[in-house]
Structure formats: C-alpha cells, structure tokens
C-alpha cells in the first residue's frame, strides 16, 4: 500500500471518528443539501454462501446495527422511491439499502432483519439464475477455489485453459505469491477472453463433480422468493440477465441484457422494476450505451459501485453507492450519510475511495 493511500485511510478514519463521536454529524447533516445515500451489499453471512468472497458478505447483526443507527437520523427507503423523493422537498435525507444479484439468504436472513427494523430495501436480480437455474462463471470459480485452494485451482485451470495470455498471468500471480481470490478473479474478469474462460471454468467444475443446479438452488432465490419479498414491501430491480460486463458487449447485446432482466421482473413478479444496477458497477464496466439501454428499457434510475452520495441534479443513471461488507464501519457510513465526506469533496478532498 502506498504512503499516499495509507495517509488517506488515516485521515478518513480520524475525520469520521471525530464527526461521529462529537455529534458534529448532526450539524453537517443540517447544512449540507438533502441527499440519497445508497448502501450496496450482496448477501448476509449464511451457511449457503460461505464460499463467496468476503467482500460479498456482511454479518446480519452488523447490518442491523448500521441500519438502525442510520434510520434514527435519516429516512430509510428504496432506491427508486428515494430517487423520486429527492426530487420533491422533504426534511430528512434518505438512506436506501440495496443488495445485488438475488441471493437466497436475502429472503431467509435479510428479510426478517428488515421486518424487525421496519426498513425497506431494493434487491437487484440477475434474471438467468431465477429463470433457468443457471449460474454465471464467477460462482463456479468461487466453488472451485473453495474446494481446491488457490494453488491447486491455478494448476488445474492452467492445464484446462487454452488462452496463453491468461495462463501466463496466472503463473505470474502464483510465482509472486499473489494468487488470492481477488487477483485470480480479476484476471478472469478483465484479461481472459470471455468464451474460453467460461468454457474452462465450466469444464473444471464438472470434472470436480460440481452440480450447477444444486449450487444455484443453494445460492439464489426463486421467483417465489422474489414475489414474497415484493409482497413484504421490498423493491425489486434489474441487474441484467447473465451478469456480463456491459461495456464489453455491443449495443444490441447490452440492450438485450438490460431489457431482458426488466422483462423477466415484470412478467414474473408484476413489478414496476424502476431501478437497475450495472453488474460490477465500476466506470469501466459500463458506458454511455449502458445508460441509454437502462433508460430505453424503462428503468428510471441506475446505480454504480462508485462511492458518494446523490443529490437532486445528480445523473439518475450514474447513482453512487457505498459498498458494505464484513469490513464496513459504522462511523464511516454515518459520516458519509450526514454529508461529511461530501463536504470535503467540495473542497477538492475525496477521502472515500
Ligand atoms: Zn452483481
């Protein structure tokens, strides 16, 4: 970690602690413009999702503490309703919890928690797992990594994969001791040719005795689950059909992925499906064509995974979100929610990423 980055972390931590513990948060909240803060997670820690990366999980009790705290000062809402509400005059700022992909534990573990708090949320559904009980490559990857361990996974993958560039990168990672879940996934996501990556991962998964249907049933909710969530006041949103990096697809491909996920939601859950989340969500994962595809499909707003808060006048197809996982810290989120970091951004100091 570079010195500059370390310094930024220390500054962020100190600043957040001061605002949180001195009550300055309340003061900043009053002087800063009304805002919509969107939290973004994937699942709450449960037995079924133990093989997923740590940054995709948050302890239920931790999430409950965060929402309870933020809910005392701000209005808890959903993404689409929060965005609509931001356009009118209201007193309190808004906080929306969003969860991506459509994990089964969102119904079994998250819903009871939300009901205890009386809090709504937005759940973004990738439609293929619900429609076809089919998984995207990343879940087969996490399953293999959990089963084989990094070293053996690399060995087996390199023997199967026919792309030399990918294999060379994998050998490099192993040689330099950086064969972690994060780096191995990053190579598969951005460096490997998509078709060969998916073929090789699927071949390994089958060779190891993987059962895609069973894994999908363990991880992902069904349409019945989605309808039960909707009936409990949870907002459902689109997250494409196959969780591809949209920016890598041509215009036609992007529109099919985006509109396809909305059509499935409307058909299966009779839902308004007003908001959309770009898969992976970083600036290089989506582009102007993705924004247009979201608008054309009928979504009124779309969320990224870049940190920050949203105000009236923000681009509705580039809404910012704060990622939450095991490492989430309440004082940092509370400082973001009260507009504390936004205040610094106005002075050109961005401590959030
Ligand atoms: Zn996702």
Q: Domain check: are 206 and 230 in the same one?
A: no
Tell me the CA–centroid distance for residue 239 and ligand 1, in Å.
7
Tens of pLDDT, residues 139-192: 999 999 999 999 999 999 999 999 999 999 999 999 999 999 999 999 999 999
In a domain, 197, yes or no: yes
Q: Domain check: are 162 and 203 in the same one?
A: yes
In a domain, 353, yes or no: no
Stretch 182-211: mean pLDDT, rounded? 96
Q: Domain check: are 64 and 31 in the same one?
A: yes
Tell me the CA–centroid distance for residue 1 and ligand 1, in Å.
27
**Residue that terminates a domain, selected from 214, 240, 260:** 214
Spatial distance between the Cα atoms of 298 and 38, rounded to a whole number of angstroms: 21
In a domain, 352, yes or no: no
Contact assessment for residue 122 and residue 237, using Cβ atoms and an 8 Å cutoff:
yes
Q: Domain check: are 113 and 260 in the same one?
A: yes
DSSP three-state, residue 210? coil
C-alpha torsion angle, residues 13, 18, 19, 24 (rounded to 10): -170
Tens of pLDDT, residues 45-101: 878 888 888 899 999 999 999 999 999 999 999 999 999 999 998 889 999 999 999
- What is the Cβ-side half-sphere exposure of residue 167, based on CA atoms within 13 angstroms? 12
* pLDDT for res 350: 86
Contact assessment for residue 144 and residue 135, using Cβ atoms and an 8 Å cutoff:
no
Tell me the CA–centroid distance for residue 53 and ligand 1, in Å.
13
Q: Domain check: are 122 and 227 in the same one?
A: yes
Tell me the CA–centroid distance for residue 236 and ligand 1, in Å.
14
Q: Domain check: are 238 and 161 in the same one?
A: no
Q: Domain check: are 171 and 319 in the same one?
A: no
Tell me the CA–centroid distance for residue 245 and ligand 1, in Å.
10
Which residue from 46, 32, 82 is spatially nearest to 335, judged by alpha carbons? 32
Tell me the CA–centroid distance for residue 126 and ligand 1, in Å.
7
Q: Domain check: are 19 and 46 in the same one?
A: yes
In a domain, 246, yes or no: yes
Number of structural domains (the chain) is: 2
Q: Domain check: are 102 and 165 in the same one?
A: no
For position 64, which CATH number holds? 3.20.20.370
Spatial distance between the Cα atoms of 4 and 303, rounded to a whole number of angstroms: 29
Tell me the CA–centroid distance for residue 155 and ligand 1, in Å.
28
In the chain, the percentage of residues whose pLDDT exceeds 70 is: 99
Task: Place 243 in a pLDDT band, splitting at 50, 70 and 90.
Answer: very high
As residues whose CB is below 5 A from the ion ligand 1, the structure lists: 100-101, 279
Tell me the CA–centroid distance for residue 29 and ligand 1, in Å.
31
Tell me the CA–centroid distance for residue 49 and ligand 1, in Å.
14
Q: Domain check: are 206 and 239 in the same one?
A: no
Task: Place 5 in a pLDDT band, splitting at 50, 70 and 90.
Answer: confident
In a domain, 164, yes or no: yes
* pLDDT for res 238: 97
If phi > 0 it is left, if psi is from -120 to 50 it is alpha, else beta; for residue 349 that is beta
Q: Domain check: are 108 and 36 in the same one?
A: yes
**Residue that terminates a domain, selected from 214, 243, 262:** 214
Confidence check: pLDDT of 353 > 80: no
**Residue that terminates a domain, selected from 214, 246, 268:** 214
Q: What is the per-residue DSSP string for 96-116?
A: EEEEEE-BTHIIIIIHHHHHH
Tens of pLDDT, residues 254-288: 999 999 999 999 999 987 889 999 999 999 999 99
In a domain, 39, yes or no: yes
Tokens at 344, concatenated: 């610094």
Question: Is 0.85 surpassed by the pTM of this model?
Answer: yes
Q: Which domain holds residue 316?
A: 3-133+220-346
- What is the Cβ-side half-sphere exposure of residue 297, based on CA atoms within 13 angstroms? 35
In a domain, 351, yes or no: no
In the chain, the percentage of residues whose pLDDT exceeds 90 is: 90
* pLDDT for res 51: 84
- What is the Cβ-side half-sphere exposure of residue 169, based on CA atoms within 13 angstroms? 17
Instruction: Indicate the average pLDDT of the chain.
Output: 95
Tell me the CA–centroid distance for residue 64 and ligand 1, in Å.
22
Q: Domain check: are 227 and 264 in the same one?
A: yes
Confidence check: pLDDT of 1 > 80: no
Task: Place 315 in a pLDDT band, splitting at 50, 70 and 90.
Answer: very high
């Amino acid at each position: 970690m570079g010195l500059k980055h370390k310094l930024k972390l220390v500054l962020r931590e100190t600043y957040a602690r001061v605002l949180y513990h001195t009550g300055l948060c309340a003061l900043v909240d009053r002087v800063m413009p009304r805002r919509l803060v969107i939290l973004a997670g994937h699942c709450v820690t449960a037995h079924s999702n133990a093989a997923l990366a740590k940054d995709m999980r948050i302890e239920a009790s931790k999430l409950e503490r965060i929402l309870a705290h933020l809910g005392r000062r701000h209005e808890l809402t959903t993404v689409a309703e929060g965005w609509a509400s931001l356009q009118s005059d209201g007193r309190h700022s808004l906080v929306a919890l969003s969860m991506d992909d459509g994990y089964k534990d969102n119904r079994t573990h998250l819903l009871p928690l939300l009901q205890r708090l009386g809090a709504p949320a937005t759940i973004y559904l990738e439609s293929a797992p619900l429609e076809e009980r089919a998984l995207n490559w990343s879940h087969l990857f996490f399953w293999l990594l959990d089963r084989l361990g990094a070293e053996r996974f690399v060995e087996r993958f390199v023997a199967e994969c026919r792309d030399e560039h990918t294999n060379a990168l994998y050998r490099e990672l192993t040689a330099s001791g950086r064969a972690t879940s994060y780096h191995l996934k990053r190579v598969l996501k951005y460096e490997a040719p998509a078709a060969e990556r998916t073929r090789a991962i699927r071949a390994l998964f089958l060779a190891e005795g993987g059962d895609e249907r069973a894994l999908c049933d363990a991880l992902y909710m069904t349409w019945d689950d989605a309808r039960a969530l909707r009936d409990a006041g949870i907002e459902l949103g689109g997250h494409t059909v196959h969780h591809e990096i949209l920016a890598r697809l041509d215009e036609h491909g992007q529109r099919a992925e985006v509109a396809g996920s909305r059509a499935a939601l409307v058909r299966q859950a009779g839902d308004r499906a007003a908001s959309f989340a770009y898969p992976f969500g970083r600036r290089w994962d989506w582009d102007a064509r993705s924004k247009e595809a979201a608008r054309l499909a009928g979504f009124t707003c779309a969320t990224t995974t870049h940190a920050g808060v949203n105000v009236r006048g923000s681009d509705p197809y580039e809404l910012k979100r704060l990622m939450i996982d095991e490492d989430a810290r309440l004082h940092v989120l509370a400082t973001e929610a009260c507009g504390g970091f936004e205040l610094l951004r106005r002075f050109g100091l961005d401590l959030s990423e």
